[in-house]
Amino acid sequence: MSRIAQIDAFLVPPRWVFVRVETDDGLVGWGEASLEGHGEAVLGALESARDRLIGTDADRIEDAWQTLYRLGFYRGGPVLMSAISGIDQALWDIKGKRLGVPVWQLLGGQVRERIDVYAWIGGDRPHDVAEAAAARWAQGFRAVKMNGTEDLGWLDSPAKLDDSVRRLQLVRETGIDAGVDFHGRVHKPMARQLAHALEPLRPLFIEEPLLSENPEAIAQLAAQTSTPIALGERLYTRMDFKRLFELGAVDIIQPDLSHAGGISEARRIASMAEAYDVAVAPHCPLGPLALASCLQLAATTPNFVIQEMSLGIHYNTPSADLLTYLTDASVFDIHEGSVAVPAAPGLGVTIDEARVREAAKDAHRWRNPVWRGPDGSLREW
């Protein structure tokens, strides 16, 4: 029996939390527990996880998951589930390395040869967004996601919707497909109008047209548009998704494998979604371990459709952030809109541990920016 001997966590730039699990026979697995703006809280949750798991069997991944989720009495939520996510990914990484196979092999084997991907774009002016889309095309992407609107109140001038329509129109003219992210910052009176205005341009999806705590309103909106509705980055367990499935409110779910219980829980959420004919497109504007975990899930999930990846965090500037902590980044090479199914054991990536430890000496304190409307009231990030 191989027992968990050590669990370490590292706050590394730009805003990530990496988790390192080591067994008493020397195997090391890595996971990602990044929770944007709340990294310190996740470190606290990992403290109690150590008390539960040190000395236990590293191969009993499901037992470890259940222990962390159920024995704390207070369940769910972003902090606990992010901590569980990092450990869960690391334990799958260890098991794959021990057996010499990718994690997807342990989940039932692959159902596809390549994995479609998309990246985010932004910009202050409509033409900036078009240039960003062209830059993503040059990187190999064939699909992007863009903000639907920067600023809308509960009830705002319909003229403000024209800018959103113009942005999407310019991006679509480049030949690239685009999803449009409302980011939960639009309220029902305006969301209905914006969804209708964008519909003729045929976006891939509209994301978080309303906040996910309003499932009945999302279901109402879904009945009024033919555009697929995507959401789920702020949901953390299969129980959180259940109501949306029952209401028929969503077409594409976007669980984040660093927030929603890791590979184990995301796999269960994806299986639930399949029973409701709902697709899966995991949320991942995060680091290499989160993305590697997503690719393992994508390889073996029948109802997977497309994977977010943050290659180049700035909208038109290639960025090394995603690749900084890897010894070999070729696993994320993009060709005509897709990446290959990872072939290496475990999560399929090798972390430069020395670089991680050095970066963590100056632990980040990243916080979400504060946005306010013209009237001074707080707006959604």
Catalytic residues: 183, 283
**8 A C-beta contact, residue 270 and residue 304:** yes
**8 A C-beta contact, residue 256 and residue 278:** no
Euclidean distance between CA atoms 168 and 123, whole angstroms: 12
Q: What angle do CA 1, 354, 81 make, to 5 degrees?
A: 55
Q: Per DSSP, what are the bridge partners of residue 28?
A: 22
Among candidates 305, 300, 287, which has minimal Cα distance to 349?
287
Q: What angle do CA 55, 61, 67 make, to 5 degrees?
A: 70
Euclidean distance between CA atoms 102 and 100, whole angstroms: 7
Euclidean distance between CA atoms 255 and 238, whole angstroms: 10
Euclidean distance between CA atoms 20 and 319, whole angstroms: 25
